[in-house]
């Protein structure tokens, strides 16, 4: 016999009042399919699944009518809802992180007697994460020639290349006809003079007809997309070849691969729970994955870049150009930096990471997907 949850139990589990659950029933949004012997509403597994979707969309701020349209759509199954919800929640988290960063910045400015302009105060509400943190980006983010060579090699003989999530264009090949796509106005504004033309758009909905380019590339951006799989499929649609630099968070033991996440910032792993597996990402473009080793003196200051130069993470400029630090929030950041500083001073970091000194390049889970 299928288990049913009585309405009181559902209310207790969800924190939603019985009255609200009755209302959802009356308007046909979530109709419990059974009654208890005493005549109370009782929810079967499928009712609970639908209620879970309704409550998640509600928490995201959707109105009941919009939610009814979403959950009644026969083309969207439970997995598609979970993927969509996940993307929307990530976007909300990034916006909250951007707002916290902007507020911290304004508090800092006020403490020094500087008042932000009315425009600056309002700008943040329309901003993407990179509209807030993007101005710190060029300080340490630049082309790493050895990794660029691997990317450009994977582009093969492509003459026209679309660079999705292009940022300031660090990995755009100089010898091909490049078109860039970048949703953040701050990042677009920082593209160097003479850089490839840049279109304001997002990966999930590329404004180009099918097969418009010989190749599409994406470097260190897919983890920011609301819906990575949809974005990768879009790349596949508009280009005959696809090259993506991304991260493998599905291999066993990936949480322990990099000492910074393992010993100081366990919150990093939480940013990637539910991140599609490497197999799913690769499948979305119909390709294969190859490892990308990070040289010990990597010129591009991304999260893993300083694996053999731990002091770099104590530098505020280095951290501000790495979105992970903003996404985990100021408390986790301060705790991690303090612990790392202490371990560098005491020699504990060196004791724990002796084997790294002999390495010129490290395998830290970065991957090039090629299709
Ligand atoms: C870490 S930066 C990488 C920029 C550039 N590819 C590079 O390697 O220097 C990530 C970029 O992804 C962009 N981005 C965020 N969401 C996006 C989306 N849905 N579609 C395309 N790009 C996105 C951000 O605005 C940001 O410029």
pLDDT per residue as tens digits for the range 227-273: 999 999 999 999 999 999 999 999 888 989 999 999 999 999 989 88
Ligand 1 mutation target, pool 93, 95, 129, 165, most atoms within 8 A of CB:
165
Instruction: Give the model's pLDDT for residue 259.
Output: 98
**Cα 347 to ligand 1 centre (Å):** 37
Structure tokens given for 148: 């660029």
What distance in angstroms lies between residue 143's CA and the mean position of ligand 1's atoms? 15
Q: Which atom of ligand 1 is nearest to the CA of 202?
A: 20
Contact 294, 362 (CB under 8 A): yes
State residue 103's pLDDT score: 85
Q: Indicate which atom in ligand 1 lies nearest the CA of residue 164.
A: 21
Both tokens assigned to 98: 């951007």
| pLDDT for the residue 123 | 65
Nearest C-alpha to atom 22 of ligand 1 is from which residue?
Answer: 165
Pocket lined around ligand 1, Cβ cut-off 6 Å: 128, 130, 141, 164-168, 170-171, 182-184, 187, 202-204, 219-221, 224-226
Who contacts 182 (Cβ-Cβ below 8 Å, separation ≥6)?
165, 166, 167, 188, 191, 198, 199, 200
In the reported structure, the alpha carbon of residue 182 is separated from the centroid of ligand 1 by a whole-number distance in angstroms of: 6
Looking at ligand 1, which atom is closest to the CA of residue 130?
25
Output the tens digit of pLDDT for each of the chain's 371 residues: 678 999 999 999 999 999 999 999 999 999 999 999 999 999 999 999 999 999 999 998 899 998 999 999 888 899 889 988 887 888 788 778 888 888 888 888 889 888 877 777 766 665 578 877 788 888 899 999 999 999 999 999 999 999 999 999 999 999 999 999 999 988 898 999 899 999 999 999 999 999 999 999 999 999 989 899 999 999 999 999 999 999 999 988 898 999 999 999 999 998 988 789 999 999 999 999 999 999 999 999 999 999 999 999 999 999 999 999 988 988 899 999 999 999 999 999 999 999 999 999 999 999 999 99
**What's the pLDDT score for residue 341?**
97
Distance 166 CA to ligand 1 centre (A): 6
Output the CA 112–ligand 1 centroid distance in Å. Answer: 32
Q: Whose CA is nearest to atom 13 of ligand 1?
A: 165
CA dihedral 196, 202, 207, 209 (to 10 degrees): 90
Ligand 1 centroid distance, CA of 204 (Å): 12
pLDDT for position 1: 60
The residue contributing the CA closest to ligand 1 atom 17 is 225
User: How far does residue 224's CA lie from ligand 1's centre (Å)?
Assistant: 7
Give dist(CA 104, CA 136) in Å, integer. 15
Q: How remote is the CA of residue 115 from the centroid of ligand 1, in Å? A: 30
Long-range pairs, 204-212, Cβ under 8 A, ≥24: 204/230, 204/231, 204/234, 205/234, 206/162, 206/164, 206/181, 206/234, 206/235, 206/237, 206/238, 208/162, 208/238, 209/238, 210/237, 210/238, 211/237, 211/238, 211/239, 211/240, 212/160, 212/162, 212/238, 212/239
Contacts of 356 (CB under 8 A, 6+ apart): 259, 307, 308, 362
Q: Write out the two tokens for 22.
A: 């009755």
Atom of ligand 1 nearest to the CA of 323: 1
Whose C-alpha lies nearest to ligand 1, atom 23?
165
Per-residue pLDDT tens over the stretch 272-323? 887 899 999 999 999 999 999 999 999 999 999 999 999 999 999 999 999 9
Nearest to 202 by CA among 107, 124, 94: 94
CA-to-CA distance for 265 and 333, rounded, in angstroms? Answer: 8
Atom of ligand 1 nearest to the CA of 187: 27
C-alpha 252 to ligand 1 mean position (Å): 27
Q: How far is the CA of 100 from the centre of ligand 1 (A)?
A: 20
Taking the C-alpha atoms of residue 329 and residue 317, their distance in angstroms, rounded to an integer, is 16
Q: What is the pLDDT of residue 226?
A: 87
Counting from 1 in the atom list of ligand 1, the atom nearest the Cα of 163 is: 6
Instruction: Give the ligand 1 atom nearest the CA of 171.
Output: 8
């Amino acid at each position: 016999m299928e288990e049913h949850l009585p309405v009181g139990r559902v209310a207790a589990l969800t924190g939603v009042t019985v009255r609200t659950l009755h209302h959802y029933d009356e308007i046909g949004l979530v109709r419990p399919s059974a009654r208890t012997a005493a005549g109370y509403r009782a929810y079967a597994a499928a009712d609970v699944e639908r209620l879970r979707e309704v409550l998640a969309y509600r928490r995201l701020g959707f109105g009941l009518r919009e939610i009814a349209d979403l959950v009644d759509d026969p083309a969207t199954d439970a997995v598609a809802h979970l993927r969509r919800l996940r993307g929307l929640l990530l976007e909300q988290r990034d916006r909250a992180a951007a707002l916290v960063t902007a507020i911290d910045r304004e508090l800092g400015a006020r403490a020094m007697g500087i008042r932000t302009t009315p425009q600056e105060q309002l700008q943040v509400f329309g901003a993407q994460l990179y509209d807030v943190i993007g101005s710190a980006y060029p300080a340490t983010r630049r082309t790493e020639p050895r990794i660029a060579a691997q990317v450009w090699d994977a582009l093969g003989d492509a003459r026209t290349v679309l660079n999705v999530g292009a940022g300031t264009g660090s990995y755009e090949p100089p010898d091909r006809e490049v078109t860039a796509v970048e949703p953040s106005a701050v990042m677009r504004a920082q593209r160097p003079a003479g850089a490839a033309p840049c279109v304001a758009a997002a990966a999930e909905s590329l404004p180009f007809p099918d097969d418009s380019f010989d190749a599409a590339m994406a470097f260190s951006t897919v983890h920011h997309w609301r819906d990575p799989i949809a974005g990768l499929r879009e790349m596949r649609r508009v280009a005959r070849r696809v090259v993506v630099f991304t991260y493998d968070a599905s291999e066993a033991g990936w949480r322990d691969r990099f000492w910074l996440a393992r010993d100081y910032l366990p919150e990093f792993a939480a940013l990637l729970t539910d991140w599609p597996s490497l197999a799913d990402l690769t499948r979305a473009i119909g390709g294969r994955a190859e490892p990308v080793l990070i040289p010990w003196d990597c010129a591009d200051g991304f999260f893993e870049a300083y694996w053999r130069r731990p002091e770099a993470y104590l530098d505020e400029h280095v951290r501000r150009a790495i979105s992970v630090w903003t996404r985990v929030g100021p408390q986790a950041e301060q705790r991690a930096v303090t612990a790392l500083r202490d371990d560098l001073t005491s020699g504990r970091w060196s004791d724990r990471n002796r084997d790294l000194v002999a390495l010129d390049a490290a395998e830290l889970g970065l991957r090039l997907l090629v299709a």
